Amino acid sequence: MGIAKESVGLTEDLKTNYSLYDGRLGFGNRPALILVDFVRAYFDEQCEMYAGVENELASALRIRDVARRAGIPIVYTNVVYELDGSDGGVFYRKAPVLKNFVKGNPMGEWPEGLRPASGEPIISKQYPSAFFGTQLSTLLTEQDVDTLIITGLTTSGCVRATCVDTMCNGFIPIVVAEACGDRHVDPHEASLFDMNAKYADVVSETSACEYLQKFVEELKS
């Protein structure tokens, strides 16, 4: 029930070198789903942040459909800054492209098909991790969540940061490979490899949906 290692483009030498990192966490009993920073900037070809990640969004939406039927918590994140970027600190200085996410910029809005439903919380953040400076950990703890299924953008940035902090906050990180995307395949695959080795279980969309389907069946019984 995990990502096949060959799907992250591993060489035999790399597999051998990292063979000591072969632990698996497995799915827990009380999951939540997070959709990290699926915002218009990555889907608008006129925007400098366009990443060609339409397929990754489609994957995340399919998982969301099952999660809604399963009745599990669903959380979204976006990035929002003051007009002068003063609340973005060093991150905003390092990556001036984040100006696309100042208040009022349409690039920070949801892309077509993603709009959250009533009651699905939105975490607005200023830094890569969905946990840093937010109430996400409290929100998950209050709902007795033990597993966070992670989808989103970008794999090497906010997804990876959120994955590491998921573990650091005591939740099981499950990263769905097909539902995470990046500007280039190399950092995407390297980040999936790194997360799978040390911090999370990287799984397929099929595995994630099969796991969530169990909760759908429980609701029916």
Is the dihedral angle over the CA atoms 102, 183, 56, 140 positive or is it negative?
A: negative
pLDDT at 22 over 90: no
pLDDT at residue number 36? 98
Cα gap 85→206, rounded to integer Å: 39
pLDDT digits (tens, 9 = 90+) for 61-94: 999 999 999 999 999 999 999 999 999 999 999 9
**158 counts as catalytic:** yes
Catalytic residue among 158, 163, 180, 209: 158
pLDDT at 6 over 50: no
pLDDT at residue number 9? 55
Task: Please provide residue 10's backbone torsions phi and psi, each rounded to the nearest 5 degrees.
Answer: -80, 140
pLDDT digits (tens, 9 = 90+) for 92-103: 999 999 999 999
Q: Which domains does the chain have, with CATH numbers?
A: 5-220 (3.40.50.850)
What's the pTM? 0.93
Task: Please provide residue 154's backbone torsions phi and psi, each rounded to the nearest 5 degrees.
Answer: -95, 160
Cα gap 75→140, rounded to integer Å: 9
How many CB atoms are located within 10 Å of the residue 60 CB?
A: 30
